[in-house]
Amino acid sequence: MNRRTVLAAGGCVLSLAALAEPVSVVDDSGQQVALAQPARRVIALGPHLTEQVYAVGAGAQLVAVSRFSNHPEAAKALPIVGDAVALNHEAMAQLKPDLVLVWRTGFPDRARAPLKKLGVPVFESEIRSVADIGQSLRRVGVLTGHAAEGEAQARQVEMDWARLQSEYASRSPVRVFYQVWHQPLMTFNREHLIHEAITACGGVNVFAELPALTPTVSWEAAVQRNPQVIAMAGAASDHPDRGQWPRFPRVDAVRHQRFAQIDGDLIGRMGPRFVQGARRLCEAIDAARR
């Protein structure tokens, strides 16, 4: 190791030049986030942000995370400072972060607003497309002094996504209902990242046109759309929760038992593993074609 490098906590090697230089990005709320030098103490509020920090090689700089941040394994050992219901702002202040990454719609305004009182730069994340995942990885890399790693991870996601699209997008269309919840029955519209996955798989999101991001729909309306595949997120070891669907045997997906449960840690997070979840969705949709 030479004079121009320094060993950070956890064995992360950073250049002295990178540590000293100011960095700046624009976050997903349109606000500029500027640091006098790359962040050394980071709090990630959102499981996908935790994954992104580790993906760009800055995991050793994390000092706390939000609940359900369980990947990679090292994240489980970090202090938890809140969840989607509430954040422990006092605990965060005691950790003396120099950057907070927060999932904008994953936490209510009343939880996010006090973050400004910490006197720490806040990066707000709101990802709606795979292109946004790549851009987020690049910006997290810049803010943590790992710009090259962030760029490499972003390009890998983009290449994997292009490969998936070329493989599935032009195949015969399949009507897909993505079930977010069954009581009440909820789904996604075209503005959600999972809609992009359905489209990339050659699927047709049967409620794409609705105005709300996660609309509630009636069982009658869902039955009328006659999906050929009913997909949902869940643990791989669980059986799909079919709710009231067995009551409607005339629905194509019910008649042929085409219920697909995708690992929620993959398909439900806006991190570098999202493409893996999308591929599993594509495989389930492709099975309906056969």
User: Do 170-289 and 5-159 fall under one CATH topology?
Assistant: yes
Burial of residue 7, with CB atoms counted within 10 A of its CB: 0-12 exposed, 13-18 middle, 19 or more buried: exposed
Predicted local confidence at residue 2, as pLDDT: 38
What CATH superfamily is the domain 5-159? Nitrogenase molybdenum iron protein domain (3.40.50.1980)
Q: How far apart are CA 21 and CA 200, in angstroms?
A: 40
Q: How far apart are CA 39 and CA 56, in angstroms?
A: 13
Helices 130-143, 274-289: axis angle to 10 degrees equals 170
Report the candidate in 257, 157, 242 with the shortest Cα–Cα distance to residue 200.
Answer: 157
Predicted local confidence at residue 242, as pLDDT: 83
End-to-end CA distance of the chain: 57
| Helix H or strand E encompassing 182 | strand 181-182
Q: How far apart are CA 240 and CA 237, in angstroms?
A: 10
Q: How far apart are CA 178 and CA 253, in angstroms?
A: 12
Phi, psi dihedral angles at 187 (to 5 degrees) = -145, -165
Which residues neighbour 53 within 8 Å (Cβ) at sequence distance 6 or greater? 42, 44, 59, 61, 62, 101, 140, 144
The b/e string for 40-53 (b: 16+ C-beta within 10 A; e otherwise) is: bbbbbbbbbbbbbb
Domains of the chain: which residue ranges?
5-159, 170-289
Is residue 25 within 8 Å of 121, Cβ to Cβ? no
Predicted local confidence at residue 234, as pLDDT: 87
pLDDT tens digits, the chain, 290 residues: what are they? 333 344 443 444 454 445 579 999 999 999 999 999 999 999 999 999 999 999 999 999 999 999 999 999 999 999 999 998 899 999 999 999 999 999 999 998 888 989 988 999 999 999 999 999 999 999 999 999 999 999 999 999 999 999 999 999 999 999 999 999 999 999 999 999 999 999 999 999 999 999 999 999 999 999 999 999 999 998 766 777 788 999 999 999 999 999 999 999 999 999 999 999 999 999 999 999 98
Phi, psi dihedral angles at 238 (to 5 degrees) = -90, 155
CATH architecture of the domain with range 170-289: 3-Layer(aba) Sandwich (3.40)
Predicted local confidence at residue 236, as pLDDT: 64
